[in-house]
């Protein structure tokens, strides 16, 4: 059995990226020929720790599992998560050099969930990238918001928001920009 076969089998048991993400990918190169994502969800009690990319190819089954994991937990709606966002998360995590999984606070949001959150406060965009499966809000208990923010902005690959009062960082695969305090 080849190395690729072993890793694909491992990923299955536990889309394409735009070329503008070359900077993020360079941070992943140090991890060898694989990309891995580790997250937990306090809302569902689920955890994910899997290889989703091997030697230049996304593993379809692994990406589908990530899509399910990052679903709208309020409605249970599943949406395809843009792999560029997954790559940003993995690259920042790799740069932080931690074993702790991200705590996923929000991945995909259904239009109904986004409207409900908007009605409760002004920090939710009407046309949020969460609606398109292009964003994630995460935290690490072993790293500060500032540290996660710096890691996510280090490769200039998309949008990164710092929400210090709420203790999370937003990452999305939209245009390169940053905000927050």
For 148, the domain range is 3-180
Closest of 102, 24, 15, 92 to residue 52, by C-alpha: 15
The pLDDT confidence band at residue 9, using thresholds 50, 70 and 90, is: very low
Higher-scoring residue by pLDDT: 25, 79:
79
Q: What is the DSSP string of 29-58?
A: GGG-SEEEEEEE-TTT--EEEEEEEETTEE
Tens of pLDDT, residue by residue over 85-104, are 999 999 999 999 999 999 99
The count of domains in the chain is 1
Q: Which of 28-37, 57-66, 67-76 has the lowest mean pLDDT?
A: 28-37
| Over residues 148-165, mean pLDDT | 96
Structure tokens at 81: 């998560």
CATH for 48: 3.30.1380.10
Report the distance separating Cα 127 and Cα 18, nearest Å: 21
pTM (predicted TM-score)? 0.82
């Amino acid at each position: 059995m080849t190395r690729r076969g072993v890793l694909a089998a491992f990923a299955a048991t536990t889309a394409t990226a735009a070329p503008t993400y070359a900077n993020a990918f360079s941070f992943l190169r140090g991890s060898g020929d694989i990309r891995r994502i580790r997250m937990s969800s306090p809302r569902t009690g689920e955890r994910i720790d899997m290889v989703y990319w091997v030697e230049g190819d996304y593993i379809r089954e692994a990406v589908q599992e990530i899509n399910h994991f990052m679903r709208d937990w309020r409605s249970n709606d599943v949406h395809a998560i843009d792999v560029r966002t997954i790559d940003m998360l993995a690259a920042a995590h790799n740069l932080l050099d931690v074993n702790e999984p991200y705590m996923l606070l929000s991945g995909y949001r259904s239009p109904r969930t986004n409207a409900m959150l908007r009605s409760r406060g002004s920090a939710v965009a009407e046309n949020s990238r969460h609606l398109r499966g292009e964003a994630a809000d995460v935290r690490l208990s072993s790293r500060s918001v500032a540290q996660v923010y710096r890691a996510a902005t280090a490769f200039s690959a998309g949008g990164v928001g710092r929400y210090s009062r709420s203790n999370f960082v937003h990452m999305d695969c939209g245009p390169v920009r940053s905000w927050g305090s």
